[in-house]
């Protein structure tokens, strides 16, 4: 819940002019390798996202998250439904 609220706050404070019906959802993967696989799948189906890499030690350069561009949930669900909500 805390992660979802943080993402929601980030969206609300962004200058991106998000539609009022935009939802924030936080999904989980067990490790960086699986996150990279998700990114590859999204690239293959043209789902827009921003890869987030940690610049500082000890994770310098590690892929830490994927920020998906707002899209219809039906289009995203088809590619992300296997990922659990962050708990």
pLDDT tens string 27-70: 999 999 999 999 999 999 999 888 888 888 898 889 988 888 88
Q: What global pTM score does this model have?
A: 0.81
Q: Is 85 part of any domain?
A: no
Q: Is 86 part of any domain?
A: no
Secondary structure class of 59 (helix, strand, coil):
coil
Q: In the chain, pLDDT over 70 holds for what percent of residues?
A: 94
Q: Is 87 part of any domain?
A: no
Q: Which residues of 52-75 are buried (b: 16+ CB within 10 A; e: fewer)?
A: eeeeeeeeeeebebbebeeeeeee
How many domains does the structure of the chain reveal? 1
Helix (H) or strand (E) holding 36: helix 32-44
Which residues form the domain of 17?
Answer: 2-80
Q: What is the pLDDT of residue 1?
A: 65
Q: What is the pLDDT of residue 3?
A: 80
């Amino acid at each position: 819940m805390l992660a979802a609220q943080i993402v929601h706050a980030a969206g609300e404070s962004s200058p991106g002019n998000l539609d009022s019906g935009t939802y924030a959802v936080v999904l989980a993967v067990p490790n960086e390798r699986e996150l990279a696989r998700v990114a590859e799948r999204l690239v293959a189906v043209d789902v827009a996202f921003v890869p987030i890499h940690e610049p500082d030690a000890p994770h310098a350069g590690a892929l830490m998250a994927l920020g998906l561009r707002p899209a219809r949930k039906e289009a995203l669900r088809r590619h992300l439904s296997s990922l659990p909500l962050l708990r």
